Amino acid sequence: MATRGFVGRRPAQRDPRLPPGQYDTGDDWPVLTAEVTPRLDPDRWTLTVDGLVGNEHTWSWADLHALPQSEYRGDIHCVTTWSKLDTRFGGVSVDLLLEAVEPKPEAAFVLATSTTGYTTNLPLAEITDGKAWIVWTHEGRPLPREHGGPVRLLVPRLYFWKSAKWVTRLTLMEHDKQGFWERNGYHDLGDPWLEQRYQGD
Amino acid sequence: MTERAPAGGWRTAVVREVAHPTPRSVVLRLEVPDRVDHLPGQHYVIRLTADDGYRAQRSYSLASPPSDPLLEFWIERLDDGEVSTFLADGVEPGDELDVRGPIGGWFVWDGAGPACGVAGGSGAVPLVSMLRHARDVGRTDLLRLAVSARTLADLPYPDELAAAGALFAVTREPHGERPAGRLTAAELTPLLVPDAPVYVCGSAAFAEGASDLLMAAGVPAERVRVERFGPSG
């Protein structure tokens, strides 16, 4: 339904990198968190990959930094309709971690858990083959606390609530199990190009 | 954690009332046929569509309680806000708007137990829904509120909040006997109820500051529920 009188402030040519319903936030980076921002000591933080794996493993901050580093450069999209274009994160590929734990064939989903207790669910296929990272830098600088620093999951192909801040555990599962926002009405997959914002989209 | 069913699809709301309590805000009262009842604290998405199909949408917290036959939104008019400027300047009674909701199952209060609300600026809107619901169920004693803004004119529903006994922390001008200044831990502490949730709503900067005060006052992080408003116009 067209809204009477609404024209909108679209640029003459819409940036093809923007999924439907998104706008370019430019240099801003809005914060969306439902909890108190934790103060996390990297030396006491660990990342565990468990669940349906042959070889459960826990990495320390130093362990992760000793792995080959990789970088994501591209766009991120928040369900609240902002997108941040051509931005840069550094850390390690989730593929490296999965290789080490040897996922069982029946593993099809993953639940990411943060130190705060925040959770989010994803299909395993969405975090494999170069699609996900554990990151600790943004634009070459340490990741700011309010954006998940010192360390967060990065899954830029999906809406950004899937990129769990302060991630501490990835649990591989046979069946999907809803996380925090998903239980509260948000989509289980969250593909911005399909505008999968809420359950039922 | 409260679990809420999905809100369903888009509905067409009819604008019944439009008011401008200040030059920088608009109150819209919408009629939504067959709406899903909401809980205080939840929000809706309002979507605007141009003739050629171009769309923009934003989320707005409800000010109305579940008992209100209409949905009420207090919307801050952001000068660079594509959606809020249209809602503030271009909407008249009788217009139709696409809406979707209610959304959110975390930042909600059902009126069953004590709670504290701490809000900055337009973040006070969901607290007003909580307050109105508390009045409906005859339990205003359960809710303790603190609101903060640069000036009184930046606060939604100042008279209603004052009548409810909310603490006002006005940062750029004196308010009553209180000198201008930010909310302090000493002001917040008497409002806290052991084991009760604390609802913090406002800009990201306000939410960080308020969270720090609450932590300093000894509130465990898991009792704090935060809703941050981004600059999303």
Asked if the C-beta of A55 comes within 8 angstroms of chain B's C-beta atoms, the answer is no
Q: Report how many Cβ contacts below 8 Å link chain A to chain B.
A: 111
CATH 1.10.3720.10 at B115-229, yes or no: no
pLDDT tens-digit profile of A96-130? 999 999 999 999 999 999 999 999 999 999 999 99
For residues B208-233, give the mean pLDDT: 84
ipTM of the complex: 0.81
Q: For chain A, what's the residue count? A: 201
pTM of the model: 0.84
Specify the CATH class of B11-103 in words: mainly beta
β partners of residue B60: B44
Residue B85, classified by CB atoms within 10 Å of its CB into exposed (0-12), middle (13-18) or buried (19+), is middle
Superfamily of A38-194 according to CATH: Oxidoreductase, molybdopterin-binding domain (3.90.420.10)
Domain ranges of chain A: 38-194
Disruptive mutation site among B54, B59, B97 for chain A (greatest number of A CBs within 10 Å): B54
Contacts of B123 in chain A (CB under 8 A): none
- Cβ distance B82 to A34 less than 8 Å, yes or no, reads no
| Geometric angle at alpha carbon A117, from A113 and A119, rounded to 5° | 40
Given a cut of 60, whether residue B232 has pLDDT beyond it is: no
- Cβ distance B97 to A2 less than 8 Å, yes or no, reads no
Asked if the C-beta of B210 comes within 8 angstroms of chain A's C-beta atoms, the answer is no
Contacts of B227 in chain A (CB under 8 A): 34
- Cβ distance B224 to A36 less than 8 Å, yes or no, reads yes
- Cβ distance B48 to A81 less than 8 Å, yes or no, reads no
For residues B161-173, give the mean pLDDT: 96
**Residue B214: in which H helix or E strand, if any?**
helix B204-216
Report the first-to-last Cα separation within chain B, whole angstroms: 29
Domain ranges of chain B: 11-103, 115-229
